Amino acid sequence: MRYRITAPHGQRSLSGADRLARGLGWLSLGLGAYKTLAPHALTRALGLEGQESWVRLSGARELLGGIMTLTDDPTPGLWTRVVGDSADLVLLGSAWSDPHNRKRDTAGKALAALAALTAVDVYCAQAVNRQHAYQAGPTPDYSLRSGFPRPVEEMRGVAGDFETPRDMRHAFPTPPKIAVRELPDRAARAI
Amino acid sequence: MKALCWHGKNDVRYESVPDPRIEDPKDAIINVSSCAICGSDLHLYDHFIPTMESGDVLGHEFMGEVMEVGSEVKHLKVGDRVVIPFTIACGECEQCRRGNFSVCERSNRNRALGDKMFGHGTAGLFGYSHLTGGYAGGQAEYVRVPFADSTHVKVPDNLTDEQVLFLGDIFPTGWQAVVQCDVQPTDTVAIWGAGPVGQFCVRSAVLLGARQVIVIDNVPERLSMAQAGGAIAINFENESVLERLKELTQGMGPEKCIDAVGLEAHQSGTLDAVYDRIKQATMLETDRPHVLREMIYVCRPAGVLSVPGVYGGLIDKLPIGALMNKGLTVRSGQTHTQRWMKDLLRRIEEGQIDPSFVITHSVGLDQGPGMYQTFRDKQDGCVKVVLKP
């Protein structure tokens, strides 16, 4: 018969990209919890005092992205992380470029780290998207795979010798077979 | 020996494990010649079924040759070619004697766990969590088969592995799903899911004489395979399932509805699908019951809902009012495989059906881990994977 012989993977189903996505998901949850629960500590460290609401919002987004990344389809969660990373980069960029910010150095290091993490997020999102693309590949033609030796209409009811076991019979009466079969329209069927 | 082992969500590995041995006089050891990845294995792969442990050997659809038998095995001998049903049945308890093999009262060695989870434990299953006994599965070179006398069907040499392998699960599962609808020649049977079980539901409904068979899915090649078997296809990505079903049944709804999807229903663009995704991701619901809701809504009053699709835990927003007021009958359960195997084997021998139509990929066991992902993501036209140890 015409089976496809493919050898797309190694001896483990979880690829490096899958494992990376999982790690990013947990990281997102950790960061999200930290930002949500202790925004003051973060704003103090980065010289972003007064931006606690934004940090909390960013934390909530991290939590959402983390949960989404840990589901069986991590791609949307990873792209959510990328979008969130971009917003965080803007915020950190403003802290780094502010000449009056006494924590510019820390903000600069955080900016560099986040930029690197964003690159990892983008790489991972693309890799996972490629690997898990739903219904990827060709659409084969299975229109001749009936499984029957003869045309379908000739096979209808061929197992008529089978008697439904008593415990599986319909709970409600069914109309007399012959009478209903001979009545074609809706009104007749409703009798 | 080599086997496919579960190591966590989406993590299946091909690795060495100890060879099985006779542990009970009623055991047999099978040298596996062919095995398959079942759609319900994907629920393990995606970790929706609880009580899996790292290193568990997967697989419940397999066949092979008897290598060794225990001292109390009477109906098998070394060299017999057998297909093994996924439900382990003692053949002696009250449920087995009634024909309810999937709720055998003796084969689940972790029955207490099942009692806590479901109120009453169910039968032991191969490679399907510790809730169902924690038995090593058949995606391996060798398997220990408990209660071997009542957990096999012998198959003749003139049929290929590909023709008989599915007697162990998906063919009887599709068959029972239709049988418990008690199909009449006037009936429309609507089947949600054109995966392997859905495909066998289509063929079974045709063989049992349904007037009209309709299948609902969104994967084009699966829909075309279902059409080849005699179904009218509805692609839920392109058209409204409810409107199309009404149109095909002159507004009355299908008399018989079959859920061949189970707990991981995919549906795009509906409110309840988004709701289920969020609730499942946040662990507020274990299963996604979109298909059940749709079946209850669309089924003709006094009709039958048949549920061969696997559910594992808890669901939300089930329209029980519609179910009750429409007087619907619900029939479900793991398949009483032993009840149907011999009859279906006869039908294969007589040429009524060749189950190998559903196989799209045949690879070595070592390629199994990758095929889990290919099958789950419905890539490369994958409908059914057969593995050769």
Lowest model confidence (mean pLDDT) among A127-141, B125-139, B287-301 = A127-141
Given a cut of 50, is residue B150 above it in pLDDT?
yes
Are B207 and A124 in contact, with CB atoms under 8 Å apart?
A: no
Given a cut of 70, is residue A174 above it in pLDDT?
no
* Cβ pair A136:B282 closer than 8 A: no
* Gap between the Cα atoms of B254 and B190, Å rounded: 6
* Gap between the Cα atoms of B289 and A50, Å rounded: 45
If pLDDT is split at 50, 70 and 90, which confidence band does A186 have? very low
Given a cut of 60, is residue A99 above it in pLDDT?
yes
Lowest model confidence (mean pLDDT) among B47-51, B126-130, B170-174, B220-224 = B47-51
Given a cut of 70, is residue A188 above it in pLDDT?
no
* Residue in A with minimal Cα distance to B247: A186
Q: Does B247 touch chain A (CB under 8 A)?
A: no
* Gap between the Cα atoms of B275 and B257, Å rounded: 23
Residues of B in contact with A166 (CB under 8 A): none
Q: Does A151 touch chain B (CB under 8 A)?
A: no
Q: Between B224, B357, B374, which is nearest A8 by CB?
A: B374
Given a cut of 50, is residue A8 above it in pLDDT?
no
CA B83 to chain centre: 15
Q: Does B329 touch chain A (CB under 8 A)?
A: yes
A190 secondary structure, DSSP code? T
Q: Does A68 touch chain B (CB under 8 A)?
A: yes
Given a cut of 60, is residue B48 above it in pLDDT?
yes
Given a cut of 70, is residue A184 above it in pLDDT?
no
Query: Judged by CB atoms within 8 Å, which residues 181-200 of B form the interface with A?
Result: 181-182, 184-186, 199
Are B150 and B96 in contact, with CB atoms under 8 Å apart?
A: yes
Measured over the CA atoms of residue B86, residue B91, residue B96 and residue B99, the dihedral's sign is positive
Given phi > 0 = left and psi -120 to 50 = alpha, else beta, which region is B361?
beta
Count the neighbouring beta carbons within 10 Å of the beta carbon of residue B54. 10
Residue B313's pLDDT is 85
If pLDDT is split at 50, 70 and 90, which confidence band does A178 have? very low
Query: Judged by CB atoms within 8 Å, which residues 32-61 of B form the interface with A?
Result: 45-46
Q: What is the mean pLDDT of chain B?
A: 95
Percent above pLDDT 90 for chain A = 60
∠ CA A160-A162-A164 to the nearest 5 degrees?
120
Q: What is the mean pLDDT of chain A?
A: 85
Are B163 and B354 in contact, with CB atoms under 8 Å apart?
A: yes
Average pLDDT of span A13-19? 91
Given a cut of 50, is residue A103 above it in pLDDT?
yes
Q: Does B283 touch chain A (CB under 8 A)?
A: no
* Gap between the Cα atoms of B59 and B137, Å rounded: 4
Lowest model confidence (mean pLDDT) among A94-103, A175-184, B127-136 = A175-184
Query: Does A187 or B312 have the greater pLDDT score?
Result: B312
Nearest to B335 by CA among B90, B169, B92: B169
Q: Does B286 touch chain A (CB under 8 A)?
A: no
Q: Does A8 touch chain B (CB under 8 A)?
A: yes
Residue B312's pLDDT is 86
Query: Judged by CB atoms within 8 Å, which residues 288-327 of B form the interface with A?
Result: 302, 304, 327
Residue A72: φ, ψ to 5°: -75, -10
Query: Judged by CB atoms within 8 Å, which residues 155-184 of A form the interface with B?
Result: 155-160, 162, 164-165, 167-172, 174-175, 177, 180-181
Percent above pLDDT 70 for chain B = 99
Given a cut of 90, is residue A80 above it in pLDDT?
yes
Query: Could you tell me the CA-to-CA distances from A182 to A160, B43, B141, B205 in Å, in that order?
Result: 19, 45, 55, 21
Residue B270's pLDDT is 81
Residues of A in contact with B355 (CB under 8 A): 147
Residue B211's pLDDT is 95
Residues of A in contact with B351 (CB under 8 A): 149
Residue A179's pLDDT is 42
Residue A33's pLDDT is 96
Query: Judged by CB atoms within 8 Å, which residues 65-124 of B form the interface with A?
Result: 98-99
Are B124 and B109 in contact, with CB atoms under 8 Å apart?
A: yes
Largest CA distance in chain A: 91
Given a cut of 60, is residue B326 above it in pLDDT?
yes
* Gap between the Cα atoms of B54 and B123, Å rounded: 22
Tens digits of per-residue pLDDT, B187-226? 999 999 999 999 999 999 999 999 999 999 999 999 999 9
Strands B124-125 and B81-84: unpaired
If pLDDT is split at 50, 70 and 90, which confidence band does B280 have? confident
Burial class (CB in 10 A: 0-12, 13-18, 19+), B121: buried
Average pLDDT of span A36-48? 92
* Gap between the Cα atoms of B295 and B305, Å rounded: 7
User: Residue length, chain A?
Assistant: 191
* Residue in A with minimal Cα distance to B162: A1
Q: Between B99, B182, B347, which is nearest A159 by CB?
A: B347
Nearest to B42 by CA among B112, B128, B101: B128
* Gap between the Cα atoms of B272 and B66, Å rounded: 49
Tens digits of per-residue pLDDT, B229-277? 999 999 999 999 999 999 999 999 999 999 999 888 877 678 888 888 8
Gap from A71 CA to chain B (nearest CA, Å): 6
Lowest model confidence (mean pLDDT) among B14-18, B46-50, B279-283, B350-354 = B279-283
* Gap between the Cα atoms of A148 and A158, Å rounded: 11
Please name each of the domains of chain B with its CATH number: 2-168+335-388 (3.90.180.10), 171-332 (3.40.50.720)
Domain range list for chain A: 16-131
